[in-house]
Amino acid sequence: MLLVDTTLGPSSINGLGCFTNQRIRRGETVWLFDQRIDFRLPLVAVGDLPGPAQDFFHKYGYVEVVGGERVVTLCGDHAKHMNHSDDPNLVSLDEEIDSNIAARDIEEGEELTCDYYSFDLDAERKLGERGRGSPMARS
């Protein structure tokens, strides 16, 4: 769940991006997993869904291991449109707490970015042949 005010807009990285509507200070928590809005589904269960739903989970969700099980986590807000960057402005510092903090001061109107390789076991597929440094994203 995003803890800052955001909006969606065209991204110079790829498709739609998630942009902040406020200044964010370095170290501020920007996103925190909250089961009231974010959703986790066992990866094996995604295969039981109709094709379009599977495509949606694979595009907008990210694969991680929770409690020893591979799950697809789907953000329930604009966070699902965060694009990948090799130099992201959001990072996760604590593997025990599923959250993102500002890696530096972020100005109002700036696109929020994260490094898919740091949390998404499916990053290589999403970013395609271009691999690290790719402008591809999940939006």
25-45 pLDDT, tens per residue?
999 999 999 999 999 999 999
Domain ranges of the chain: 6-128
pTM higher than 0.75 for the full model? yes
Cα distances from 12 to residues 6, 16, 27, 32, 113, in angstroms, run 17, 9, 25, 25, 12
Q: At 100, which amino acid appears?
A: N
2-11 pLDDT, tens per residue?
999 999 999 9
78-87 pLDDT, tens per residue?
999 999 999 9
Q: What dotted CATH number matches 6-128?
A: 2.170.270.10
Q: What is the pLDDT of residue 96?
A: 72
> What is the pLDDT averaged over residues 65-92?
95
